[in-house]
């Protein structure tokens, strides 16, 4: 019997594995996808990773800063010099000397993937099981039986669920969780679960040469908010944008959407934007291990996340939830994923 099984290898699950490992505990992590990192993902080009998920953290988020320092990852400021472009409903573009909306935001050299790479480099790979989606948990005596999709079962004293709450609501619990716990799981929205992000990489950040910051706002679309995503130092250059197209239309328009995004970069930043060296459209709403149908409606504001009382003390404290949406602070953010992992009482693993 394992001491602790962690379900989910996003930042919170990996940070918890790191904590348990450093405390000399016996743990095993089960990850549904064929990669770890969860919402942290990147488009690789030229030896760097261009963020398809989170890109920024901010002053006042000490856990990310400390982890970057531990892994010797250089922190740099979001490029913010120059004018912002505004695209009107008819596709016409105005250049305005407005400060970049993301000025002061911080990024990591090598992208957020560098944090994930740093964490897994210190962990025994045989304890990180990929392509192992957990579908059921059942409590029997002193142990919890964890059943994976392929039918494999594993036994643990404790289970920590490090997956978005609405995804966790799809796991079968035996005995069933109390109604208020199930309600809490299914009503907590997945942060950024409705979002799609388009990234285009270029040999150099040519827009900077004409005094543009790479920031743009659009009422024409398909992207509504655009920023510079270049590697540290500017080369390779990159731009990214958040799409404003509803989830249900994105599925049917997928190929046309990537072309339309590129055409939009062309309208905003000129002809050079039409010849990227790499592109990727990441639709997080269509990722079954991130978002559910209930997440398809974009959120009007950042939810007031926090540890729901209904999720504490389950199965005599042997079943816990550790994910950014249940974090004691910075819920929703990468800093929240770390706050959730750091708030886990590791003495419970003795
Ligand atoms: C497009 C986008 C932009 C973002 N921008 C920012 C930003 O700039 N700054 C910021 O701070 N935050 C941002 N975020 C939020 C940030 O990504 C999250 O806070 C953070 O990555 C959450 O990590 P997590 O480990 O808590 O959850 P997740 O990353 O969701 O990890 C959960 C893991 O569980 C796995 N899993 C799911 N179901 C199962 C199962 N049944 N069995 C086994 N494994 C399972 C998943 O595959 C995944 O690996 C952004 C998110 C997105 C999508």
37, 223, 334: which to mutate for ligand 1, most atoms within 8 A of CB? 334
pLDDT in tens, 36-48: 999 999 999 999 9
Atom of ligand 1 nearest to the CA of 35: 49
Whether 219 and 341 share a structural domain: no
- Which of 22-26, 82-86, 99-103 shows the lowest per-residue confidence on average (mean pLDDT)? 99-103
Whether 274 and 217 share a structural domain: yes
pLDDT in tens, 106-149: 999 999 999 999 999 999 999 999 999 999 999 999 999 999 99
Distance 217 CA to ligand 1 centre (A): 26
Domain stop point among 273, 289, 305: 289
Whether 215 and 237 share a structural domain: yes
Name which residue sits closest to atom 14 of ligand 1, judged by CA.
54
Q: Mean pLDDT throughout 89-100?
A: 93
Indicate yes or no: pTM above 0.85: yes
Whether 139 and 272 share a structural domain: no
Domain stop point among 266, 289, 312: 289
Q: How many domains does the chain have?
A: 2
Q: Which pLDDT value is given to residue 284?
A: 98
How many percent of the chain have pLDDT more than 90? 94
Q: Which pLDDT value is given to residue 2?
A: 95
Whether 205 and 267 share a structural domain: yes
Domain stop point among 239, 267, 289: 289
Top-confidence residue, 7 or 347: 7
Q: Which pLDDT value is given to residue 254?
A: 77
Whether 135 and 278 share a structural domain: no
Please confirm whether the linkage preceding 236 is cis (ω < 30° from 0). Answer: yes
Whether 20 and 164 share a structural domain: yes
State residue 178 phi and psi, 5-degree precision: -55, 155
5, 38, 156, 327: which to mutate for ligand 1, most atoms within 8 A of CB? 38
Atom of ligand 1 nearest to the CA of 190: 30
pLDDT in tens, 141-200: 999 999 999 999 999 999 999 999 999 999 999 999 999 999 999 999 999 999 999 999
Whether 35 and 123 share a structural domain: yes
Whether 222 and 184 share a structural domain: no
pLDDT in tens, 210-254: 999 999 999 999 999 999 999 999 999 999 999 999 999 998 887
Instruction: Report angle CA 321, 325, 331 to the nearest 5 degrees.
Output: 125
Distance 40 CA to ligand 1 centre (A): 6
Q: Mean pLDDT throughout 76-100?
A: 95
Q: Which pLDDT value is given to residue 99?
A: 83
pLDDT at position 350 over 90: no
Exposure of 347 by Cβ count < 10 A (0-12 exposed, 13-18 middle, 19+ buried)?
exposed
Whether 314 and 276 share a structural domain: no
Q: Mean pLDDT throughout 251-272?
A: 94
Domain that holds residue 320: 1-40+112-189+294-350
pLDDT in tens, 268-295: 999 999 999 999 999 999 999 999 999 9
pLDDT in tens, 317-345: 999 999 999 999 999 999 999 999 999 98
Residues 6+ apart with CB under 8 A from 133: 30, 32, 148, 149, 289
CATH number of residue 35's parent domain: 3.50.50.60
CATH number of residue 73's parent domain: 3.90.660.10
Whether 199 and 76 share a structural domain: yes
Atom of ligand 1 nearest to the CA of 337: 26
pLDDT at position 255 over 90: no
CA distances from 12 to 103, 159, 224, 322, 324 (A): 27, 14, 30, 7, 7
Exposure of 119 by Cβ count < 10 A (0-12 exposed, 13-18 middle, 19+ buried)?
buried
Q: Which pLDDT value is given to residue 253?
A: 87
Whether 33 and 120 share a structural domain: yes
Residues 6+ apart with CB under 8 A from 198: 222, 223, 240, 241, 243, 257, 258, 261, 279, 280, 281, 282
């Amino acid at each position: 019997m394992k001491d602790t099984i962690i379900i989910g290898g996003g930042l919170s699950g990996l940070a918890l594995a790191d904590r348990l490992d450093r405390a000399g505990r016996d743990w095993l992590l089960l990850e549904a996808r064929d990669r770890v990192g969860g919402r942290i993902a990147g488009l690789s080009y030229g030896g760097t990773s261009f963020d398809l998920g989170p890109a920024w953290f901010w002053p006042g988020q000490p856990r990310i800063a400390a982890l970057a320092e531990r892994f010797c990852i250089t922190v740099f400021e979001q490029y913010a010099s120059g004018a912002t472009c505004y695209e009107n409903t008819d596709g016409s573009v105005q250049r305005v000397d407005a400060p970049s909306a993301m000025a002061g935001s911080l990024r990591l050299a090598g992208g957020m993937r560098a944090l994930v790479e740093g964490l897994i480099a210190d962990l025994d790979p045989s304890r990180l099981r990929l392509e192992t989606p957990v579908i059921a948990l059942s409590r029997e005596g002193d142990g919890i039986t964890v059943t994976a999709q392929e039918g494999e079962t594993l036994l643990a004293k404790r289970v920590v669920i490090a997956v978005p709450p609405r995804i966790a609501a799809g796991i079968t619990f035996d005995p069933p969780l109390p109604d208020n716990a199930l309600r809490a799981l299914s009503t907590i929205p997945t942060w950024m679960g409705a979002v799609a992000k388009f990234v285009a990489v270029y040999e150099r950040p040519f827009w900077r040469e004409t005094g543009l910051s790479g920031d743009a706002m659009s009422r024409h679309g398909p992207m509504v908010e655009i920023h510079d995503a270049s590697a540290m130092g500017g080369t390779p250059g990159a731009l990214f944008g958040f799409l404003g197209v509803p989830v249900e239309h994105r599925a049917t328009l997928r190929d046309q959407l990537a072309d339309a995004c590129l055409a939009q970069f062309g309208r905003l930043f000129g002809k050079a934007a039409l010849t990227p060296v790499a592109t990727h459209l990441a639709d997080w709403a269509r990722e079954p291990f991130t978002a559910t149908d209930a997440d398809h409606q974009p959120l009007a504001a950042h939810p007031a996340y926090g540890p729901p009382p209904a999720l504490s003390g389950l199965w005599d404290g042997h079943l816990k939830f550790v994910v950014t949406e249940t974090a004691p602070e910075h819920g929703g953010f990468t800093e929240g994923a770390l706050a959730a992992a750091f708030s886990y009482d590791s003495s419970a693993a003795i």
